[in-house]
A and B are shown apart, each in its own frame.
Chain A
Amino acid sequence: MFDISSSRRGFLKGGAVVVGFSLLPQAAQLLAQTGTQEKSVNLDQVDGFLAIDKTGQVTVFSGKVDLGTGVETALAQMAAEELDVAIERITIIQGDTALTPDQGTTYGSMSITNGGLQIRQAAATARQALIAKAAVRLKVGIDHLQVTNGVISTAPGAPGLSYGELVGGDQLNLPIATNVVLKDAMQYRSIGKSAARRDIPPKVTGDFTYMQDFKVPEMLHARVIRPPAMGATLISVDEASVKDIPGLLKVVREGNFLAVVGKTEWSAIQATKTLSASWTNWTGLPEQEKLWEHVRATPVTNTEVSSKLGDTGAALRSAHRTLKSTYDFAIHTHGSIGPSCAIAQFKDGDLTCWTASQGTHALRRQLAVMFKLDPKNVRAIYLEGAGCYGRNGHEDAAADAALLAKIMNKPVRVQWMRADEHGWDPKGPPTLIDMQAGFDADNHLTAWQSDFFVPDGKPGTVALIAADLSDMPHEDFISPGGVMGNSGIPYRFANILTQGHRLANTPFRPAWIRSPGRMQNTFANESFLDEIAAVEGIDPMTIRLKSIDPTDLRGAEVLQRLATISKWQAGAYPRPAGTDETVRGRGLAYVKYDLSKTYVAMVADVEVNRKTGKILARKFYVTHDCGLVINPDGTRNQIEGCIVQTLSRTLREELKFDQSTVTSRDWASYPILTFPEVPEIEIELIERPTEPPLGVGEIAAAVVCAAVGNAVFDATGVRLRSIPFTEAKVLAALGHTASTSV
Chain B
Amino acid sequence: MSQSLSLVVNQKTVTVEVDDPNMPLLYALRDELGFHGPKFGCGLGQCGACTVLLNGEALRSCLMPVSAVVGSSVTTLEGLAEGDALHPLQQAFIDEQAVQCGYCINGMIIQSAALLRRNPTPSDEQIRQELANNLCKCGTHVRILRAVKRASESMQGGQHV
Contacts and interface: CB of A to CB of B under 8 A. Distances in A.
Interface of A: 67-70, 196-197, 199-201, 203-210, 212-213, 246-247, 264-267, 269-270, 334-339, 384-389, 415, 417-418, 633-634, 637-638, 640-648, 666-668, 672-676, 678, 680-681
Interface in B1-60: 1-2, 19-20, 23-24, 27, 30-31, 35-37, 39-44, 46-47, 49
Kindly list the 7 A-B residue pairs having the minimum CB-CB distance in the complex, ordered from nearest: A68-B101, A644-B139, A206-B37, A203-B102, A386-B103, A387-B101, A641-B139
B77 A205 contact: yes
Interface in B126-153: 127-129, 131-145
Given A205-B78, A210-B36, A644-B142, A674 B46 contact: no
B154 interface: no
A206 B137 contact: no
A466 to B, nearest CB: 21
Summarize B's interface: helix, strand, loop or mixed: loop
B39 A338 contact: yes
A678 B102 contact: no
Contacts of B141: 644, 673, 675, 678
B132 A196 contact: no
Contacts of B93: 200, 204
B100 interface: yes
Interface centre among A264, A269, A387 (most CB of B within 10 A): A387
Given A196-B97, A338-B40, A637-B97, A678 B128 contact: yes
A339 B97 contact: no
Contacts of A212: 39-40, 103
A266 B103 contact: no
Contacts of A645: 137-139
A265 B36 CA distance: 15
Contacts of A672: 135, 137
A646 B37 CA distance: 28
B125 to A, nearest CB: 8
B116 interface: no
A644 B135 CA distance: 12
A387 B132 contact: no
Contacts of B31: 264-265
Contact of B143 (A270, A336, A640, A673): A640
B97 to A, nearest CB: 6
A68 B102 contact: yes
B41 A675 contact: no
Contact of B101 (A264, A384, A640, A647): A384
B31 to A, nearest CB: 6
Contact of B44 (A201, A641, A667): A667
A164 to B, nearest CB: 30
B133 A338 contact: no
A338 B62 CA distance: 13
B94 interface: yes
Contacts of A336: 103, 137
Nearest to B30: A213
Nearest to A676: B128
B43 A417 contact: yes
Contacts of A681: 142
Given A205-B86, A387-B138, A338 B103 contact: yes
Contact of B139 (A67, A200, A269, A648): A648
A389 B133 CA distance: 22
Contacts of B43: 269, 417-418
Nearest to B81: A205
Nearest to B62: A418
B135 A200 contact: no
B114 interface: no
Contact of B94 (A201, A247, A675): A201
B105 interface: yes
A418 B42 contact: yes
Contact of A667 (B109, B131, B135, B143): B135
B99 interface: yes
